[in-house]
Amino acid sequence: MDPVQVNPTTSSEGSRFSMKYGNGSSKKFFLMVALIIFGLAFYTWISSPMIVTVTGTGQVTASAESATISFTVSSNDGSPAVAIAGAKNKADSIRTFMVSAGISEQDIAEAQVRVIPASTVSQGATGFSAIIGMGAKTVHVSETPNLIASLYANGASLVSQPVISVDNKDELEKKAFEEALNDAKRQASAIAWKNWKLVRKIIAITQAATPTTTTVTSRADVLTENQDSTAAASGIFKIVKTVSVSYKMW
């Protein structure tokens, strides 16, 4: 029997067809598999961020431009009218002193007199107590400790801690807020680099400011430990902002 004759031309064309289309299908298959793997990895990466919350603090200081002091004067007597007269005399005396100390008349405030039974102030006391609330604003910030002592010496019953202020407070608060954000950003960047995270997105910001506190004293020569007498004496106005920032990191 004669061996089967193979057409060389047909065999060569079949091999070229197999190489052309067989290898092409394999490349497409592997490319598709690679794309699927990449897609799954990308989905896992994008849907599973690391969430980090950091707290940043910003602080600015400036020379205080004014200080406001609140205080009360009071007088006790068995007669309400006499008690009122006594309180008004003390208020007038203190007003005269403050004007002589360089405080403008327009910067001195005085509330209406209040008359209450003395027993509501001190247990067992009799008669009536007349109380007048007053306040004064001074630009001589560094002299506020001396002013407090003088107020007590001139008849003030209770003097509050001075509240110092500046005219451009809004600008200072904005600057403190920006510094707090920058501080939070630096912390977040350090955490991101440590964990091989390159993309960061802010998802929440919570802001808090240091509260303004007022502490009162009952005697001119005694300061409670909570009073910032150093700040008042040096005329330094301080604003502190704290922000809590949450980031998503990939």
Taking 60 as the threshold, does the pLDDT of residue 41 lie above it? yes
pLDDT higher than 80, residue 22: no
- Rounded Cα distance between 82 and 120, Å, is 18
What is the reported pLDDT for 8?
Answer: 52
pLDDT band with cut points at 50, 70 and 90 for residue 91:
very high
**Contact between 55 and 153 (Cβ < 8 Å):** no
| pTM of structure | 0.57
CA neighbor of 228 nearest in space, from 242, 219, 218, 217: 217
**Mean pLDDT, to the nearest integer, of 100-108?**
93
Distance between CA atoms of 209 and 53, rounded to whole angstroms? Answer: 18
pLDDT value at position 179?
Answer: 95
Tell me which range, 110-124, 182-196, 198-212, is most confidently predicted by mean pLDDT.
182-196
Yes or no: say if 64 and 230 are a contact pair by the CB < 8 Å rule. no
172 near 239, Cβ under 8 Å?
A: yes
Which tens digit of pLDDT belongs to each residue from 135-151? Answer: 999 988 888 999 999 99
Q: What is the pairing mode between strands 128-138 and 108-110?
A: antiparallel
Q: Are 90 and 75 within 8 A, CB to CB? A: yes
CB 209 within 8 A of CB 36: no
SS3 assignment, position 40: helix
Least confident of 32-41, 58-67, 92-101, 228-237: 228-237
pLDDT of residue 5: 53
Q: Average pLDDT of 195-215?
A: 74
pLDDT of residue 141: 87
SS3 155: coil
| Strands (E) located in 161-235 | 163-165, 200-209, 216-217
Give yes or no for residue 246 having a pLDDT over 90. Answer: yes
Q: Which two tokens stand for residue 137?
A: 């604003």
**Distance (Å, rounded) from C-alpha 163 to C-alpha 213?**
9
Higher pLDDT, 124 or 45: 124
* Strand bridging mode 236-249 / 50-63: antiparallel
Structure tokens that stand for 244 in this block: 């809590």
Does the structure show a pLDDT above 90 at 222? no
Question: What counts of helices (H) and strands (E) characterise the chain?
Answer: 6, 10
Beta-sheet pairing, 163-165 with 66-77? antiparallel
Q: Specify the pLDDT at position 3.
A: 53
Position with higher pLDDT, 229 vs 28 = 28
Pairing mode, strands 200-209 and 163-165: unpaired
